[in-house]
């Protein structure tokens, strides 16, 4: 996920708790992607989300909405860090 990528790239300017939260969200998103893939990963502990069914599609869409909300909150936190006067000054000069 891009938020995690930017938190990681901007370390140590970004607080580690924000980077960790972004990583956790990116991991959950990746897990959902793997579960919705056409491969059977149940032997690895990933129960499939059958997006070809109405129920599976609804589960997938609901998860994506949650990810979007959480991602937006993380994005706001990252922007607040980057807009902080001390950080802005150190980035410019």
Q: What interhelical angle do 16-36 and 54-83 show, nearest 10?
A: 160
| pLDDT single digits (tens) 6-65 | 999 999 999 999 999 999 999 999 999 999 999 889 999 999 999 999 999 999 999 999
Joined tokens for residue 93: 């000069």
pLDDT at 88 over 60: no
pLDDT at res. 76: 97
Joined tokens for residue 45: 């502990």
Q: pLDDT band at 66, cuts 50/70/90? A: very high
């Amino acid at each position: 996920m891009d938020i995690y990528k930017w938190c990681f790239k901007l370390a140590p300017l970004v607080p580690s708790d924000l980077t960790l939260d972004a990583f956790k969200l990116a991991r959950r998103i990746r897990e959902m992607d793997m579960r919705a893939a056409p491969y059977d990963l149940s032997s690895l502990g990933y129960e499939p989300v059958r997006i070809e069914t109405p129920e599976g599609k609804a589960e997938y869409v609901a998860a994506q909405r949650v990810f979007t909300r959480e991602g937006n909150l993380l994005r706001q936190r990252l922007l607040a860090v980057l807009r902080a006067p001390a950080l802005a000054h150190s980035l410019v000069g």
